[in-house]
Structures are given as structure tokens and as C-alpha cells.
A and B are shown apart, each in its own frame.
Chain A
Amino acid sequence: DTEVTQTPKHLVMGMTNKKSLKCEQHMGHRAMYWYKQKAKKPPELMFVYSYEKLSINESVPSRFSPECPNSSLLNLHLHALQPEDSALYLCASSVPGQSSYEQYFGPGTRLTVT
């Protein structure tokens, strides 16, 4: 199984809402990533978890809060977002530590903030 799943596929939320994005993989990968991708732009790294611990935070605003409850799951909690946060949010996973290892991407969650 080389699949990374993400839910929901689409999410529309107001600026006062609290919502969560979920990501799951069963490949035994111990590194998981959140990326943000705006239209016609490359993905931008947000967070990296390695062995369930946050290892990289790319200066992401605190209205985005990641969580890695176990080795298969990665969440992104959203609160008080701005319209400019509307984007495709991608989750990825890989074997940690070696840059030669493949990153497997999920299909993404299309987020619209109204």
C-alpha cells in the first residue's frame, strides 16, 4: 500500500471557524509533512514530523496547528484563518533521515476560507 489519504477533499470555512485536516498512511513511514500550494505555484513546506515529533516549522502562523497523534496519522488544526489561506493543502510521508527516499503525496484538501 503506497497510498497517502487525506480528508476532507474539499473544505469551506469561515474566518471564525475551527476545523481540522486529516492525513493517514500505512506504509510505515516515520516522517510526515504538510505543504501549502497556491494555484499555479509549487508546494511550500509548512511542517515536518519525524518519529512523531515536530522537527521543522517553516515560520507558519499559529492559526495553523499541526499534530501527530501516532506514526500513521497527521492532523492540521485550523483556527481564525484568513481568506489568503485558501489553497490546496498537501500531506506527504517518507522514510525519515535520507533525502534519497521518496516522498509520497496525498491527493490534497482544497480549502476555501470565506
Chain B
Amino acid sequence: KNQVEQSPQSLIILEGKNCTLQCNYTVSPFSNLRWYKQDTGRGPVSLTIMTFSENTKSNGRYTATLDADTKQSSLHITASQLSDSASYICVVTPATNKLIFGTGTLLAVQP
């Protein structure tokens, strides 16, 4: 069964600190892996997208890594800001093209 699991479920950090979110998946074969940021009550916004052959992708303070051998991805946020408070969703696209969403990590950045 294709699954995408994320950890932790929720995380609280202080403004300015770094954090790393984890994503483990069992989808195989897969086309790409994406990280989305979703503010409460809003639509998801894409942060990064990586194919199976890519190891890392950066977007400003966001850096995603992918290990296709262990089927793990991480999203590292550097120098967190209050506006980073949101849900972060890992999404894997299998060969069928239908997106498989992870359950998300709820991040709260406190001053």
C-alpha cells in the first residue's frame, strides 16, 4: 500500500532557530516528491519538488533532501520566522500521477 508518513506530528520552536521535518514513504515507483506549506484555512503552496534522481533542492530558507534508497525525505528550515508557522505536507507522486499526501507536520514558531 502506498503510504507517506511524516514526523513529528507537531513541533514548537523559537523564532530564529532551525528545524528539520521528516517524511518516509513506501510509494514505488515514484515520479517526484514535493513539499508544500499550508497556512490554516488556505491552499497548499509548493516549496520544492524533486525527482527520484535529485538529492537536494533549496528554496530560500527551505532545503529539502531526498534519499531514494531509504525512501526518506527531510525539509530543513533555517532561521525560522513567525510566518513559517503552518502545516508542512510531504506529497509523493507515483507512476499513476495521483498525488499521495502525507498527514503533515504542524509547525508553530514562537517569539
Number of residues from B at the complex interface, CB < 8 A: 23
In chain A between 55 and 114, which residues have their CB closer than 8 angstroms to a CB of chain B?
Answer: 56, 88, 90, 92, 97-100, 102-108, 110
Q: Which of A40, A56, A99, A107 contacts B42 (CB 8 A)?
A: A107
A interface size (C-beta, 8 A):
23
Interface of A (DSSP majority class): loop
Residues 51-83 of chain B, each 1 if its beta carbon lies under 8 Å from chain A, else 0: 100000000000000000000000000000000
A6 — which chain B residues lie within 8 A by C-beta? 43
Whether B41 and A103, one on each chain, are in contact in the complex, defined by CB atoms closer than 8 angstroms, is no
Minimum Cβ distance to chain A for residue B24 (Å):
15
Contact of B49 (CB < 8 Å), options: A4, A56, A102: A102
Chain A residues at the B interface, C-beta cutoff of 8 Å: 4, 6, 40-43, 45, 56, 88, 90, 92, 97-100, 102-108, 110
